[in-house]
Amino acid sequence: MAIGITALGTYAPDRILTNTDLETMVDTTAEWITSRTGINERRIADEHEYASTVGIRAVQDLVRRHPTALDGVDMVVCATSSPDAFFPSTAALIAGEVGLAGAGAMDVSTACSGFVYALATAHGLIAGGVARKVLVIGSETLSKIVDWTDRGTCILFGDGAGAAVIGEVPDGYGFQSFVLGADSAGGPSLYKLAVADRIPGVNPDDATRQIGMNGREVFKFAVRVLGMSGKQALEKAGLTADQVDWLVPHQANIRIIEAASERFGIPMDRTVVNLGRYGNTSTATVPLALQEALDDGRIQHGQQLLLVAFGGGLSWAAGAMRWYGGEA
């Protein structure tokens, strides 16, 4: 039995926050943000939108595109860095609003690598016979947890969500390999506190309740692990970089994407990038990029994809898959 993505949907809030808008909020310039990050604008949730809300909208878009996709779904996995609550899980909140009350539901917390982690989790649940079809969601309202006075972080992040149904696909398609990893030694470079006052390695005087980040350290880590995990995923699948039709990376910073692309030997014209319009939406970046490339016709049935992501933890994830564009 082959397992893959059988349906996809996305959502981004209506409000657009441009780099020019940020010039009035922090000491920066629109040109500096674009040149350093590749971001021109990002979407911002309104006061009544949360991770569950935008996740529900993404599922609704999925159903609009694939009306019967949720039939038989018996598990919901939501990857989020900005959950509505510790409990109930954001997955359970979404499930209850999209007609899946009673299905298993859990959240995955590996920050920006979470969507690929959730895909691997869904694959394992189905392969192990625990579930038949899994709804995977990457959903974020990061605007509610950033420090809007910190120009090092507030310029980067945006809000959005993506949803995918994972189920059986014809042999020869779907997921071929996954590589997952984490190293808490790098945690102080990118973190968000919850119950504790700080985490090991963070100076109590520097600890923040918003997103804390050491951009220089995250950049070095990201370039290294994206290349490493992507190559490992290809090796596990028996593939080489020249067989990849599309690299779909986490959308954090254009310089990171360019450096990772160079390490793979996969040119930028075979790399899906929509960072400029959405910023870093954490767990939502990969599905947002996938959906855009499907909508504009870049990704086609049968093409070879490589998904790579990194995030707080510090964590990383990669997955190789052959895209199935038929009806499962």
DSSP string, 84-130: S-SSS-HHHHHHHHTT-TTSEEEEE--GGGHHHHHHHHHHHHHHTTS
Low-confidence spans in the chain with pLDDT less than 70: 327-328
Active-site residue numbers? 112, 250, 280
| 2 bridge partner residues | 169
CB atoms within 10 A of CB 289: 26
CB atoms within 10 A of CB 213: 21
pLDDT reported for residue 203: 84
- What Rg, from alpha-carbon coordinates, does the chain have? 18
Cβ atoms of 251 and 274 closer than 8 Å: yes
- CATH 3.30.930.10 for domain 2-173, yes or no, is no
Torsion sign across C-alpha atoms 29, 30, 35, 38: positive
pLDDT reported for residue 286: 98
pLDDT reported for residue 196: 87
Report DSSP state, residue 196.
Answer: S
* CA–CA distance, 169 with 191 (Å, rounded to integer): 37
For 185, the 3-state DSSP assignment is helix
| 7 bridge partner residues | 165
Cβ atoms of 52 and 90 closer than 8 Å: yes
Q: How many residues does the chain have?
A: 328
Architecture of domain 175-322: 3-Layer(aba) Sandwich (3.40)
pLDDT reported for residue 327: 60
* CA–CA distance, 13 with 103 (Å, rounded to integer): 27
- Domain ranges in the chain with CATH number 3.40.47.10: 2-173, 175-322
pLDDT reported for residue 78: 99
List the alpha helices (DSSP H) in 24-98: 30-37, 51-65, 90-97
